[in-house]
């Protein structure tokens, strides 16, 4: 959709002044983008993206939820497909409420998951009802 996106913030990287267009966005600009629930609650911010090397697709957005639940900073990987960008809010919108968030796969700082075998990724995809990237034949 030719949505009008918010204009680029001041560039942090020389030469990257046009970090966002209607169809492209710089990965470096996604960092720190807020995430909202459909109801408009600010849930956290995007910490980093996990890329699937084979397909070149963004597989997960890792969001930090900075202790607003009173349980310290936690990291929630969300399948990229569950995030919708909302130009009006200047952030991503996901279908989750706090209950769903509580039950979602997450980890604390200092205890990162083992993505290697695919089991953890499948658990994430299953939870969010996302089409899994961890098909047959992947390690």
Decide the pairing of beta strands 84-86 and 73-79: unpaired
Per-position b or e across 112-139, b if 16+ CB within 10 A of its CB: eeeeeebebbebbbebbebebbbeeeee
- Using CB under 8 A, list all residues that contact a copy of itself: 2, 11, 13-19, 21-28, 30-31, 47-60, 62, 64, 73, 75, 80-81, 85, 107-116, 118, 121, 133, 138-139
- Alpha carbon distance 87, 110 (integer Å): 33
Cβ proximity to a copy of itself, 39 vs 92, nearer residue: 92
Least spacing, CB of residue 110 vs a copy of itself, in Å? 7
Cβ proximity to a copy of itself, 5 vs 41, nearer residue: 5
Cβ proximity to a copy of itself, 39 vs 139, nearer residue: 139
Least spacing, CB of residue 23 vs a copy of itself, in Å? 6
Least spacing, CB of residue 95 vs a copy of itself, in Å? 17
Q: What are 1-6's contacts with CB under 8 Å, separation 24+?
A: 3/87, 4/87, 5/85, 5/87, 6/87, 6/90
Least spacing, CB of residue 46 vs a copy of itself, in Å? 10
Cβ proximity to a copy of itself, 39 vs 132, nearer residue: 132
Q: Are 65 and 43 in contact (CB under 8 A)?
A: yes
């Amino acid at each position: 959709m030719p949505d009008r996106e918010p204009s680029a913030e001041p560039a942090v990287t020389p030469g990257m002044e046009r970090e966002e267009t209607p169809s492209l966005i710089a990965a470096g600009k996604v960092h720190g983008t807020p995430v909202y629930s459909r109801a408009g609650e600010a849930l956290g911010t995007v910490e980093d993206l996990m890329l699937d090397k084979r397909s070149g697709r963004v597989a997960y957005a890792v969001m930090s939820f900075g202790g607003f639940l009173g349980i310290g900073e936690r990291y929630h990987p969300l399948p990229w497909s569950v995030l919708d960008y909302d130009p009006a809010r200047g952030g991503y919108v996901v279908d989750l409420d706090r209950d769903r968030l509580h039950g979602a796969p997450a980890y604390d700082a200092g205890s990162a998951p083992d993505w290697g075998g695919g089991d953890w990724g499948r658990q994430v995809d299953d939870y969010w009802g996302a089409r899994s990237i961890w098909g047959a034949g992947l390690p």
